[in-house]
Amino acid sequence: TLIPLFFLVGIWGGVQRQFAAYRFFIYTLAGSVITLLGLVALVLKVMETGLTATPFSIPDIAAALKAHPLSDQWQIGLLLALSAGFVIKVPLFPFHTWLPLAHTEAPTAGSVLLAGILLKLGCYGFLRICLPLLPAAVAGFGVPVYATMAVIGIVYGALGALAQSDIKKLVAYSSVSHLGFCMLGMFALNSEGITGAVMQMVNHGLSTGALFLLVGMVYDRYHTRELSELGGLATRLPLLSVCMVFICLASAGLPGLNGFVGELLALIGMFKANPIYAAIGATGVVLGAWYLLDMLRRAFFGPLKEPASVHGPILDINMREALAVVPLMILCLWIGVFPKPLLDTIEDDVREVVKMYPQPTASTVDVADHEKTKVER
């Protein structure tokens, strides 16, 4: 994904395309190199235990680490190295600075690929490598560090989106906030949280990918994305406006649409693990509805406002554009109304990850509360 997106942004992007492409390339490559070195160090360390199976097989490495656990220092060091590339790809705060510029300067196809594929690789790396292979480091060190980065990213990304006048940059900052929910649910380390994280990865690809497509359609017609130059577009582009309202509501997490399922499960999972993190993360839901509805109000409703350079009729969404957006809308509705098939698909894999992390039971919680009461007395 790195090389194709580098050329997509650098050749077919906007005015600052070369700067955005090189910044994206350097950030991502630097993190990937550190992750590769961490992976090599992990394999070499495991091979010292006498591993004779395939050295890069994740199940074999996990079995070897379970039989011969590494020291806490080694686990934390390997977690930091392996996660270096992942936190940049997600991206987690404060490693997000390359993303808004890359999205803004990328062509529409590049933005859709960034949102739908590249950003998920960071979350997938955590879920596929870090959580199964280094459970002690993840539980003891990773949760406070990465969950904190996630909640900061949720709030910061939402506030950043509120401050934007460029619609595409607004959607880019919304990605920082939405992917924070993925990481927040993942580091709850329970079935609800990790299931919500995986659901949110799928939902973000659908909703945000569709948003970038729709913003690109507006730009093709008006050659601007500035909210100050747009208004009342629903009177000129009624069908495109219907699509935009639907996708914005899905992205905001309206019940009955796909965004609601992932965010709810992620917050429930984190509430069981740490209610404070969940409460802070929940503010991102409110802020998300705020910046998306405000964008709709300013650009699509109210008095008609168009750039002075626009002359002649502006055509509504055409068949080719509808064929790109409508299937995504159908998937958003289907997942929101009937998420069970997707939940069933990921259930077994989530269970395999969760069983590595002891879950508090009602009896242990009661005993802990009883002991706490005795101490207080």
- Is there a domain that residue 355 lies in? no
Classify 305 as helix, strand or coil.
Answer: strand
CB 183 within 8 A of CB 138: no
pLDDT value of position 176: 92
The CA-atom distances, in angstroms, between 289 and each of 6, 62, 200, 250 are 32, 41, 16, 10
- Is there a domain that residue 314 lies in? yes
pLDDT value of position 373: 42
**Distance from the first to the final alpha carbon of the chain:** 60
Handedness of CA 257, 263, 266, 272 (dihedral sign): negative
pLDDT value of position 167: 92
The CA-atom distances, in angstroms, between 284 and each of 55, 116, 176, 326 are 42, 21, 11, 27
pLDDT value of position 372: 35
Number of domains in the chain: 1
Neighbours of 194 (CB within 10 A): 27
- Is there a domain that residue 359 lies in? no
Classify 231 as helix, strand or coil.
Answer: strand
Per-residue pLDDT of the chain (377 residues; tens, 9 = 90+): 678 888 888 888 888 888 888 998 898 899 999 999 998 888 888 887 766 556 677 777 888 888 788 888 888 999 999 999 999 988 898 888 898 888 888 888 888 988 888 888 889 999 888 898 888 898 889 899 999 999 999 999 999 999 998 999 999 999 999 999 999 999 999 999 999 999 999 999 999 999 999 999 999 888 888 888 888 888 889 999 999 999 999 999 899 999 899 999 999 999 998 999 999 999 999 999 999 999 999 999 988 887 766 666 788 889 999 999 999 999 999 999 999 999 999 888 888 888 888 776 544 434 333 433 443 44
Domain residue limits at 308: 2-349
> What is the distance between the alpha carbons of residues 157 and 145, in angstroms, rounded to a whole number?
18
pLDDT value of position 52: 57
User: Which residues have CB under 8 Å from 78's CB, separation 6+?
Assistant: 38, 41, 42, 45, 70, 134, 137
pLDDT value of position 57: 76
Q: Which two tokens stand for residue 362?
A: 């009602």
Q: Provide Rg for the chain, Cα atoms.
A: 22
Classify 341 as helix, strand or coil.
Answer: helix
- Is there a domain that residue 368 lies in? no
Encoded amino acid at 4, one letter? P
pTM: 0.88
- Is there a domain that residue 160 lies in? yes
> What is the distance between the alpha carbons of residues 377 and 373, in angstroms, rounded to a whole number?
6
- Is there a domain that residue 377 lies in? no
pLDDT value of position 3: 83
- Is there a domain that residue 44 lies in? yes
> What is the distance between the alpha carbons of residues 156 and 280, in angstroms, rounded to a whole number?
11
Report whether the peptide linkage leading into residue 94 is cis, meaning its omega lies within 30 degrees of zero.
Answer: yes
- Is there a domain that residue 74 lies in? yes
